[in-house]
Chains A and B, each alone.
Chain A
């Protein structure tokens, strides 16, 4: 039973066709990644899937109902964090908690925000503003903000793209941990340019061809047991073969050279 479904999505900016004939369906609780090179239209795809942008053609449905505006009970983690610089980490998270739990008291809002900041290890930085935090810490706040509203659906737009490799690895594990610890099915759609990242976190992976008029590859299922470590990815026969198949697919579509380098 599919939860979120994209039907024949197409999108152009002016004369330039960005996405073409995109079909995608996510079951409830499923973590699906879309791997593609930069400028392949990934961000546009996630914006359409979440309802932030309207497609030119096609439709997005949740449980069979068409979506208008940003999805209900959904959260989003942006590549550039998109925290409000004039608010503290706590206030940033609280801002997401308030509309999600409007019947709560202000004290409960603060407690909820604090709880999620603690989960990402930022208890002591709660009163700092984003400007006083490192890139990794900012993205932690942004992840806490998305999870604190306890969404059923999570959109991740290259969440770790702006981070260094070490921070990136830590945050990937923290994200997997948060999804497992949620205590309810969290359906997630992640956009990434890293094949490893996709394998580490996903149940299924699609590759997005390079634009203009990019289309999605068939689905690659990931059957690796969780939790998954970075070491597993290097040595497990299935992980290695999956990575090869993904990279070959991306390369065969005459895709981004940068992407192939990154994996090799």
Chain B
């Protein structure tokens, strides 16, 4: 109990130090950077009335975050729905692995900024283009982790399936799926992290309402303190998402 109290205290000390550094930079190095206090002053309307809608690009931070989260949820769901079966196929078939692994290794490092224009060409609308980008960028950890999970299944379990004469479907539901589940969830956690990274870029480029879109528009309107508001929001939401997935992951490993 005492130890955890100290670690909470220390984390606040850390935050205070970073705020101090921020204040110092804004007052000494770059006067264009709003100080923490100015950021709060300019942003309080958005924070204290988070669900207020004053215009298409002038909404409370809660609404903006909700738009982004909803978009991420859709893109992430797409990534999971495509990535998981793909990972299973790659993990269970050597032929399939040899056929597609090089392609995947090439597609994996491509930045969302590169995918987005392609999405716009394909779908001619910003929303599906954003989902396409999120799904395509965040899919790979799910694919790779699921694949590794399937490969890590001990030969003994495969032998058990042979000895018990399990049907392919029974083998999948009773052996492959449960054995791979912890790996899959590690993949999902990483994928969600990437999806949240990608959302900002996608919204910036498409100019859709959301934290990323808001950030870009406020940069263009020269309201720099709102950029900092968006950055902090993105960080905090990303942190919460990761913690939630981490919680689900530990529950799964314990079970």
Give me the interface of A with B, judged by CB distance under 8 Å.
Answer: 50, 52, 69-70, 74-76, 78, 80, 82, 84, 86-87, 95-96, 98-100, 145, 149
When the two chains form the complex, which single residue of A80, A86, A96 contacts B164, counting CB atoms closer than 8 Å?
Answer: A96
| B30 interface residue per 8 A CB criterion | no
Alpha-carbon distance between A219 and B46 when the two chains are bound, in angstroms: 88
Closest to A74 in B: B163
A84 and B170 form a contact (CB under 8 A): no
Alpha-carbon distance between A149 and B164 when the two chains are bound, in angstroms: 9
Using Cβ atoms and an 8 Å threshold, which residues of chain B touch A78? 156, 159-160
Alpha-carbon distance between A69 and B179 when the two chains are bound, in angstroms: 24
> How many A-B contacts at CB < 8 Å in the complex?
43
B156 and A95 form a contact (CB under 8 A): no
Instruction: State how many angstroms separate the Cβ of B132 from the closest Cβ of chain A.
Output: 36
The binding surface of chain B is classed by DSSP as: helix
Q: List, sorted by A's number, 10 A–B pairs whose CB atoms are closer than 8 Å.
A: A50-B163, A75-B163, A78-B159, A82-B157, A82-B159, A84-B157, A96-B164, A98-B170, A99-B164, A99-B167
Within 8 A of A (CB), among B143-184: 156-157, 159-160, 162-167, 170, 174-175, 178-179
Question: Assuming A84-B174, A84-B175, A84-B178, is B165 touching A99 (CB within 8 A)?
Answer: yes
When the two chains form the complex, which single residue of B156, B157, B162, B179 contacts A70, counting CB atoms closer than 8 Å?
Answer: B162
Using Cβ atoms and an 8 Å threshold, which residues of chain B touch A99? 164-167, 170
A76 and B175 form a contact (CB under 8 A): no
Given contacts A78-B156, A84-B175, 7 further A-B contacts (CB under 8 A): A50-B163, A86-B178, A86-B179, A86-B255, A87-B174, A99-B164, A99-B167
Alpha-carbon distance between A87 and B166 when the two chains are bound, in angstroms: 15
A80 and B156 form a contact (CB under 8 A): yes
Give me the interface of B with A, judged by CB distance under 8 Å.
Answer: 156-157, 159-160, 162-167, 170, 174-175, 178-179, 255
Closest to A73 in B: B165
Using Cβ atoms and an 8 Å threshold, which residues of chain A touch B166? 95, 99
Closest to B163 in A: A76
Using Cβ atoms and an 8 Å threshold, which residues of chain B touch A87? 174
Alpha-carbon distance between A204 and B175 when the two chains are bound, in angstroms: 37
A100 and B165 form a contact (CB under 8 A): yes
Instruction: State how many angstroms separate the Cβ of A116 from the closest Cβ of chain B.
Output: 14
Using Cβ atoms and an 8 Å threshold, which residues of chain B touch A82? 156-157, 159-160
Question: Assuming A78-B156, A80-B156, A82-B156, is B174 touching A69 (CB within 8 A)?
Answer: no
